[in-house]
Structures are given as structure tokens and as C-alpha cells.
Amino acid sequence: MMPESSKKGILKLYRAVDFPLKWELEKVLLERPLVDSVIIYFKGSYWLLGSDLSSYGAKQTGDLFIWYSSSPLGPWNRHKQNPILNTGNRPSARNGGRPFIYNDNLYRIGKIRGGGSGYTIQIFKVQFLTADQYKEVAVPFVLDKPLKNRNAWNGARSHHLDVQQLPLSQHWIGVMDGDRVLSGDSIHRLTVGCMFYGAACILVLLLGGLIGAIKCTLPLKWYLPHTEKRSDTFDIEKQVLLCHKFSWLICNVNRLGSLIGGKINYRAWKDRVYIAVIILILVVLTFLGTNYIFGGNGAEEPYPIRGRYSQFTLLTMTYDARFWNLKMFVEHYSKCASVREIVVVWNKGRAPVQGELNSMVPVRIRVENKNTLNNRFKIDKEIKTGAVMELDDDIMMTCDDLERGFKVWREHPDRIVGYYPRLAEGSPLEYRNERYARQQGGYNIILTGAAFMDHELAFKRYWSKEAEIGRQIVDSFFNCEDVLLNFLFANASSASTVEYVKPAWAIDMSKFSGVAISRNTQAHYHVRSKCLAMFSGIFGNLTSKRSFNSRGDGWDV
């Protein structure tokens, strides 16, 4: 039976003639504008569930309807309770995917409106499904809530889930959709951006009027009636009336123009300040408008390699005097898409307890007995990822910089990939800063204050027997642990072992906090030159100079 209903929409069934690429119309199942329709075989019958949004107010709620049949090709019988109401007589949620049967129970996947204009998935357990009865109850759907906001693929909303048991297997496989932003985000950004541009345009006109560059006087005589036309007196009368109205309008516009016109004399000092302020506002408005229209949705997305994504562990070393830094560090970096876990190596003082740090990913605090720089490379079996990013808690970078560095590391997992290049040159080796390295066109050390590495490879090298004397030197200077690691990498390979990634911007917070490890730059460089001399005596030379802008991705300029 086909229920008679609105002719606006039809529910169609297609058959695969060449799966999965070619489909042909099999038949029209229902002449109703059904959305989110599913067919499921349950207890000897086929059930068709869908929402009809054609009735008034149903767009918001989505009335659920049920039909049943002995074949998916129909004819379909109407369920007695249509439209299906929930407990409390509220309409049932629209379908959000394929219903599934688990332990002989039927579950329906629905989508409900979450906050704002986004949907979330809700699972319902169907308690009764017969020709004249339907009852469902919401059951918990445990899925980790995306906390990384728009950096997460499903940060804002999800509205479809399909789970299926693999044939002849205990395993299930599922697929879910997601979006980082709410619906209409691109239109919203365009609208707001145009509003900023519009405001800027008005301000330009106003400024032009104020300094008298734009004179808004429209000659009145243009609109006076042409008296030579005498054919139709009635027409002329009308024209005169119209022109009178026009001239009144023009007079008012002119009066407004003369009111503001030339109010600001740009030769006067005080008025120049006004002009400067207005220009500043103009610049800000233009900047905001451009940012809204061309700045993208603000998400800092990870970079796939051959279509795949990965994650890394962020490792930092700190102590109690730098707790304020650490809080900011955790809050900021835990939102980056590829950060899986943060490990805090706690070297000294009272360690923070659970809940003191606000993080979107698990934070593990590893309290150390001995305050030594060697701890940052300590072998840690609990690290779940292959990649570790060593990052000082006083360096603030964008998530995008981290993601770019991670991509370069994934392309060169046997190297140290970082953001601070140094050059050791001369005989004896002298430790030189980034500016010098740039003058010489290359680098051969990457500081591990911000660097990616394979932790199994790097930490094993660092804690090898051969490196023991190096670790003692590190302890004696309380410095040079990163120089040692660079030597160990260079020692193990004849090819280049360092990769530089230029950060868009990086703020060194130690400049503000006053608890930096190395405040005195000159003394610091002197110590490091001394380390270089000692290490090169033990481990041989560093690799040859790696040129800036040689990788080809343009990120190492």
C-alpha cells in the first residue's frame, strides 16, 4: 500500500547494475518526502523508518514514521502509531545512520540537536517494534567527547554513524562523520567580513568628507523641470512635484555634507591625531574583514602523509618554579590535533596533582629523583607513540608549527627535526647562533628545546655505554644535553641527521619569567663551545653543514 500524501517528494530505490559504480532506478517506494530513511529486517519483517519534514514545524523536530512489509520492494504498510512520539509526547529523533541488531536487540541511531546548530549522535534501544506498537529508550553512547575544538575533525558536530558486524567475525566496524565548525560557518565568516569591509568603506567616505577631500554637493539645476515640454500639462505637473521632492532630498544631502565637510583641518596638530586614529581604525577593520573572508576557519589541521595521520607525545622538563609556564604550556599544546599525550618530567619540588593542569589530552607527570638534564632523554616504556617532541615549557608556538614539524619528522624519522638551528664551526669547534648560521648558509645542530625525534632511537643512543662520559659532562656543566644528542646522531650516520623547520612565530617566555635556565647568553655560549670541544674529542665530528632552503618544501628557509 502506498500512503497517499504530499506529492512534493518521493522515496526511491535504486538497484546496482554494476556495483559500486552504476545504479538504476528500481521503483518508487513511497510517495512521501521522507528524509533519513532506513530499511531493516527484524523479526520476520522489513521495517522502513524515516522522517517526514513536510508538516508544519517538523523541520525542527523531524517526525519519525514507520512502515512495514514482507519485502523491501513493498507494498509498505503504515504503522499504527505514526508519527512516532517519544516519551513525554515529543517527536522521536531523526535517523542518524543504519540501525543495528546486537544481542537480538534492535538499536536505532538518531541525531539530536546539541548546542548551537550542530547535531550529536544518540543511540536508542528499541523495546517494542510490532505492527501497532513502537517504543524506544535512549541508551548511553560512549564516545570520547572531542575536546580540541576546531582542531579536531569532529570538534563541532557529528550526525551520522554506521556500525556493522564484519561477516563471520566478532569484530564490528564503524564509520562516523564529523565537522570542525558549525553549519553555515563559511557564510557566517563571509557575512562578518563584508560587514567589516562595509564599515571601513563608510569610514573612508566619512573621513573624506571630514577633511574636505570629498565634496558632497549635487547641482540642484539638474533636477529642475524642462519648461520647453508643453505637450501634456498633467505630466509636467507630476514632474514638477517629483523634482521638488528630489531637490528637497538633494538639499538635505548637501546640508549634511556641508555640516561635516572640512570639519577637520589636516594642517592642525590636534586634528591630525583624529585622522591618525580614524586611519588606525580603518586598518583594524580591513585586517579583521580580510581575516574573516580569507583567513580560513581557524582550524590548525594535521598534515597527512600518503593519506595517513599520526600522533606524537609531547615531552617537557620542568620544576616547581616554572609551574605557571607549565599551566599555559599544557593548556595551549594539548589542543593541537596531533598531540596524543603530554609527559611532564618533574625535576624538582612539589609535583602538581591531578586536576591542577587543564588539558585536553592525558598528562603524565614523571617525578624524578635526581635533578639532571639527562632526564629529558630517559628511556620511558610508557610512551605510546614512536615520535616524541621535546619542547621546553617556555616556548610558545602555534599548533600549525608543531604539525609542520611533525610532518617533516614523519618524512625523516631517523633525524632530529626542530625549530632552532645552530652552527658549530671552526677549529676548535665554536658554538654559533642562528644569525651566524644564516650568514654561513647552513646549520649542523638542532636544539632539542623544540625538536622531534624517534624516542626509541634517540634515548637508546643517549643512554648507551659509549655516551656515558658525555652524560657526565652534561651533569658537570648542567648544560649541553642537546649538543650531546646531536653528536650521537651524527656519529651513527654518514648522512645528514638534522632538519630545520622555520616556525611562523615562536615566543620564548623565559624572557619574561626570569626563571630561565640560561639567562646569560655569552656565558652560555662559552660553556657550549667548551662542550663542543670535549664531545668532538670523544665522538668525532658533527655532520657537514646542512643548507637552509634545501629540503624543497619551503619550510626550512
Per DSSP, 225 falls in state -
CB nearer other proteins, residue 119 or residue 333? 119
Q: Which of 69, 82, 183, 371 binds other proteins (CB under 8 A)?
A: 183
Give the separation between CA 232 and CA 474, rounded to whole angstroms.
105
119 is an interface residue for other proteins by CB under 8 A: yes
Taking the complex as a whole, the smallest distance from the CB of residue 388 to other proteins amounts, in Å, to 23
User: Among residues 2, 35, 84, 538, which is the contact residue for other proteins, using CB under 8 A?
Assistant: 35
Q: Any contact of residue 160 with other proteins (CB under 8 A)?
A: yes
| DSSP string for 445-481 | EE-TTEEEEEHHHHHHHHTSGGGHHHHHHHHHHT--H
DSSP characters over 166-209: PTTSS-EEEEE--BSS-TTHHHHHHHHHHHHHHHHHHHHHHHHH
352 binds other proteins (CB under 8 A): no
State in angstroms the smallest separation of the CB of 110 from other proteins: 14
The answer to whether 14 touches 26, Cβ cutoff 8 Å, is yes
Helix, strand, or coil here: 43? coil
Q: At what angle do helices 468-477 and 521-539 cross, to 10 degrees?
A: 160
Pairing of strands 339-346, 312-318: parallel
Among the listed residues 514, 391, 380, the one whose alpha carbon sits nearest the alpha carbon of residue 452: 391
Q: How many residues bind other proteins (CB under 8 A)?
A: 53
Q: 54 or 77: whose CB is closer to other proteins?
A: 54
Active site residues: 482
Of the residues 221, 226, 230, 306, which one makes contact with other proteins according to CB under 8 A: 306
Strand 105-113 and strand 94-95: pairing?
Answer: antiparallel
Q: How far is the CB of 509 from other proteins (least distance, A)?
A: 39
> Least distance (Å) from other proteins to the CB of residue 5?
13
Provide the pairing of β-strand 416-418 with 119-129: unpaired
The interface with other proteins within residues 43-62 (CB under 8 A) comprises 50, 53-54, 59
- CB of 92 or CB of 510, closer to other proteins: 92
> Whole-number minimum distance, CB 120 to other proteins, in Å?
12
The answer to whether 184 contacts other proteins (rule: CB under 8 A) is yes
307 binds other proteins (CB under 8 A): yes
Peptide bond just before 352 cis, omega within 30 deg: no
Give the count of beta carbons closer than 10 Å to the beta carbon of residue 349: 14
Q: Does 190 bind other proteins (CB under 8 A)?
A: no
Applying CB under 8 A, among 63, 179, 390, 392 the residue interacting with other proteins is 179
CB atoms inside a 10 Å sphere around CB 415? 24
26 binds other proteins (CB under 8 A): yes
With binding defined as CB under 8 A, does residue 278 bind other proteins?
Answer: no
Buried (b) or exposed (e) across 198-229, using 16+ Cβ within 10 A?
ebbeebbeebebbbeeeebeeeeeebeeeeee
- Rule CB under 8 A: choose which of 5, 112, 162, 436 binds other proteins: 162
Nearer to other proteins, 159 or 335 (CB): 159
- Quick one: cell of 130? 510490532
Q: Judged by CB under 8 A, which stretch of 156-164, 229-237, 452-460, 484-492 contacts other proteins?
A: 156-164
Q: Minimum distance between the CB of residue 410 and other proteins, rounded to whole angstroms?
A: 15
**Which residues bind to other proteins, rule: CB under 8 A?**
8-16, 19-23, 26, 29, 33-39, 50, 53-54, 59, 71-73, 97-98, 117-119, 157, 159-160, 162, 164, 166-167, 173, 175-177, 179, 182-184, 306-308
